[in-house]
Structures are given as C-alpha cells and as structure tokens.
Amino acid sequence: MKRSFLLITLVACTVSLDDGSHALLSSAEYTLTWDTADVTWETQGWSTTTDLGYVVHVENGWVGSYGLSLVACEDVIVHGSDVLWSLVGVQSAYAGHSGDEIDPSALVLDQMESLATPIPHQYGPYLFAPDTYCRVHYVMSYAIEEAEAEGRNLTGSSLWLEGTITSPNGDRWPLDVQSDVAHGALRDLPQLANLANAALLTEHVEIRVTRALATMFDGIDFNQEPSDLDFKVLGNLTRYATVDALRSFNTP
C-alpha cells in the first residue's frame, strides 16, 4: 500500500468529500503558484483588507512547502471535512495510515517560499510505476534542511510573517509571527476521466496548486490576540487553495 509524506508533527488537512476522479498515471509535473487578486502591492510587500475589516500589510514573509504527492485510490480514507492526524514518530500525513513508504509520485520540496514577493515554482516531470490515483496531497511544514533568506535563519520555521495590522477603528500594531506548525490539503483529482473510460492507459498529469494571498487572514479577529494565529493562517492557505489538473496521454 502506498504512503504519503513523512512528518514528525501534527498535521491538519482540509479534505474534499466528493467522489473524485480516477486515472491510471505514470508521470506528473507539479506547479506551486499564487493568486494575487485583491491585494495592493506596496513598496515593501503587499496589503489586503480581511473579511473582518482589518488591513494587513505583509512586509516580509515566508512559508514552508514540504511536498506534493498523488494519493493512490486504495489509500483514500476520509473521516470528515476537517481531519486532524496525530503523527507520533514517523507516520504518513493522511488519514488512517502509518508506515515508512513514500508514494513514488511524491515530490519532497522542503522549501521556503517568499510571501512578500511570491513567484510560481515548477517541478518535473517525474516518472513512476503506473498506479490508479484519486487525490492530490499538499503539505505545508517547517524547513528541515538549512534555510536562510535575507539574513534570517528560517530552518525549523513553517511560517514567518513581519508587517503591520490596522484595525477597522484605526488602531495599528506589528504583525510578527514565527511558527513551526504544519497544515495540509487533500483534494480530489479534478477534470480527469473516470478509470472506466481510461482502462489500461498510463497517462501524464500536470498538477497546479494555487494559494490565495487575499484570504490568508480571513476569519481572524486580531483584537482577540488569537494564540493559534499561525495555525489559522496556514489553514486559510490550504483551505482556499485550488487544485487544477491537465491530463495528457503522452507521457514525457
């Protein structure tokens, strides 16, 4: 049985409950990109107004993308729309499984991405033994390998934010977040033909995961000084992430 990413942490994943699509796949390309709609670009970073009326200015920021993987249909076990997995020791980061095998489609990034100057990243193509896949798993977590940006040591950080927060009544205070929490998204493979229509065909898939900047801070009441601000921000990044897939019968 296939396994997904190995993490020693607590991971919460947003899970799609649709029946999903199935495809016999043997290669994949991955793209991580950003939706920058509804943000205002500043001299340093950007700002956005949240659904609660706070203006958040992100001057510097980084987020850890641990990895991406396809999830074999045999491994899809869903217990609810929000699933929390307790990973004691080294276990897989999706529901109901433990073990030390990584799915051959997995791309382990262990990469810090800039939030102040976000850019897309492309990876692949990667070839692997054919298998029937139903879902995509994306994990944000702390940098394990040595990571540094603009003189800051980001090793061990999954989220680092610097900037300002302005409340609806005009009060202003610093935004200063550094965290090692993890979060993830488990989504159905979209726009793929059912296995019944693609039997015995091995195929290539291009996966694009788009994270939205403008909704990073939605639902957060900064006046309440939320102790789990880091977890909520990462939760918003995964919750509002969209996954697109383009299938080709021509394996690279």
Rounded CA separation 246/241 (Å): 17
pLDDT single digits (tens) 149-207: 777 788 888 999 999 999 999 999 999 999 998 888 888 886 554 434 444 455 888 89
- pTM here is 0.81
Question: What's the mean per-residue pLDDT of the chain?
Answer: 77
pLDDT single digits (tens) 7-44: 333 345 544 434 445 678 889 999 999 999 999 999 99
The answer to whether 6 touches 81, Cβ cutoff 8 Å, is no
Q: How confident is the model at residue 242 (pLDDT cuts 50, 70, 90)?
A: very high
Rounded CA separation 143/159 (Å): 10
Where do the H-state alpha helices sit in 103-240?
Answer: 229-239
